[in-house]
Amino acid sequence: MPDELALARRAAAGDRDALDTLLRSQYDAVYAVCRRMTGNDADAADAAQDALIAMARGIGRFDGRSRLSTWAYRVTVNACLDELRRRKRRPEPTDDASLARVADLRPSVERTVSDRIDVDAALRRLAPDYRAAVVLRDLCALDYAEIAEVLDIPAGTVRSRIARGRAALAADLGNPSMPDDRPTERS
Amino acid sequence: MSAPHPDDERLSAALDGHDAEALAHADGCAQCAARLAGFQAVAALVGAPVSAPRADDAVAAALGSATVTSLRPGSRRGPFALAAAAMLLVVLAAVSVITGRDDSRTDMAASTDAGSGSVAAGGAAGADLGDQSDPTALADRLRGVVEPPVVAGDAQVATDAPNAATGGATTESAQSLASRRSAAMAPTSGGPCGLTVAQEFSAGLGPLVYTATLRWEGTPAVAVVYRIDGATGSLDHRVLVMATSDCRLLVAQTF
């Protein structure tokens, strides 16, 4: 943490090498979140670039109270949500194509390949608020408190969004091991 | 009567180590164990590693952006440094406009001339896009230029020349247009940022299809549009906006 803060302060003071190092240290995680949030490589690249630009411009606001990665995730999720809003103004780039490929691929290639395409499509159909919670938990392995900080919502809401997101994804993916007729203590 | 099943929220929390009681229940309940396994499968799919492309483009754009921002009012520098920086920016911008316009007229003349058919077809007045600050708005505008609606007489060019942005009432082949445009920005042509593009940003990019001048957030700049190699969807072009003064990347946008 002290190293992160020192690096951030040097970057904020105009040290170009420090900023370069800082951005590169976060890039893989930033891109991964963008890839899952947007569902395709082109939008992910744009969102990741926007996130890095926002980080570069806003590094002076990082105060070290959270981990650098937590701050980076917050900036990244916001960049992804912006990208998703912009994408509504243009056609989905790969959705139909991906779904068509799934149908073509199922009989002939590894199940994991079609699962990957399926989960991209299923994630795109999930509301962005739920998508972000699930991605931050299952891809980034953040705990509920960190996700709450990134998304600026209560931890209880994080828990609920993750559960609903996972349930929706499982249903969308047609997971046969997910019985829906199970009476629960709340039903 | 057996214990009620924990709901999805509790099972999901159990997967994350937050509900030991629900986890214990699932150990002895086939239905809940199956549901938990479903959550685990989803979590594994979402959490599968993502391989990121090289960071160079994005980092370069961010560094360029930070350079511009650091000279803006509102930065954390002192008032005198800020004033000096602002004056420097004005001087640099003025010099860039004066010299850059000369350069652009010389270096991108072929591109502009070659692109006149597209520009005319797109309804734009010329190869200066004016003041721009929104990547999406810029992409929307460029999309209209490099992908003009196919009208009677253009269909042959549009269908025969997937590598070129054409359209408009030109009789020159699209391939020829693309070649001329590429030549205008080739490193050996001395184009304003041709060498930078070739050395740093050309990976995965196909032929150059359009160039224009503009001011990006007030900074005199050049926009170069490439087709993306192997692109099959609607996102098949990439625009790079670089400062005229030093060719630093200001923004890159796929459209």
Segment B94-106, tens digit of pLDDT: 544 544 444 433 3
Q: Is residue A124 part of a domain?
A: no
For A126-182, write each residue's pLDDT tens digit.
999 999 999 999 999 999 999 999 999 999 999 999 999 999 999 888 764 455 556
Q: Is residue A160 part of a domain?
A: no
Residue A164 touches partner B, C-beta closer than 8 Å = yes
pLDDT band per the 50, 70, 90 thresholds, residue B112: very low
Give B249's Cβ-side CA count (13 Å radius): 27
Question: Which residues in chain A are closer than 8 Å to B232, comparing Cβ atoms?
Answer: 97
Q: Which domain holds residue A23?
A: 1-91
Question: Which residues in chain B are closer than 8 Å to A40, comparing Cβ atoms?
Answer: 233, 235
Residue A12 tokens read as: 């904020």
**C-alpha distances out from residue A82 to A76, A79, A178, B35, Å:** 10, 5, 33, 34
Provide, rounded to the nearest whole percent, the portion of chain B with pLDDT above 70.
Answer: 50
Give the count of domains, chain A.
Answer: 1
Q: Is residue A171 part of a domain?
A: no
Per-domain boundaries in chain B: 8-46, 56-254
Q: What is the mean pLDDT of residues A6-16?
A: 90
- β-sheet bridge partners, residue B226: B208, B238
Highest averaged pLDDT of the listed ranges A54-63, A73-82, B179-188: A73-82
Number of CB pairs, chain A paired with chain B, less than 8 A apart: 181
Contacts for B230-235: CB closer than 8 Å, 24+ residues apart:
B231/B206, B232/A97, B233/A40, B233/A42, B233/A93, B233/A94, B233/A97, B234/A90, B234/A91, B234/A93, B235/A40, B235/A42, B235/A43, B235/A93
Residue A163 tokens read as: 């559960």
pLDDT band per the 50, 70, 90 thresholds, residue B77: very low
Residue B105 tokens read as: 């007229």
Residues 67-126 of A with CB under 8 A from B: 86, 89-91, 93-94, 97, 115-116, 118-119, 123
Rg over CA atoms, chain A: 18
Q: Is residue A48 part of a domain?
A: yes
Q: Is residue A30 part of a domain?
A: yes
Residue B4 touches partner A, C-beta closer than 8 Å = yes
A56 contacts A19 by C-beta, under 8 angstroms: yes
Contact B43 A115 (CB under 8 A): no
A22 contacts A11 by C-beta, under 8 angstroms: yes
Say which CATH number the domain at A83 has. 1.10.1740.10
Instruction: Give the contacts of A104 (CB within 8 A, at least 6 positions apart).
Output: none
Question: Which residues in chain A are closer than 8 Å to B140, comparing Cβ atoms?
Answer: 89
Q: What sign has the CA pseudo-torsion B81, B85, B86, B87?
A: positive
- In degrees and rounded to multiples of 5, residue B210 shows phi and psi of -165, 145
Residue B126 tokens read as: 């010329």
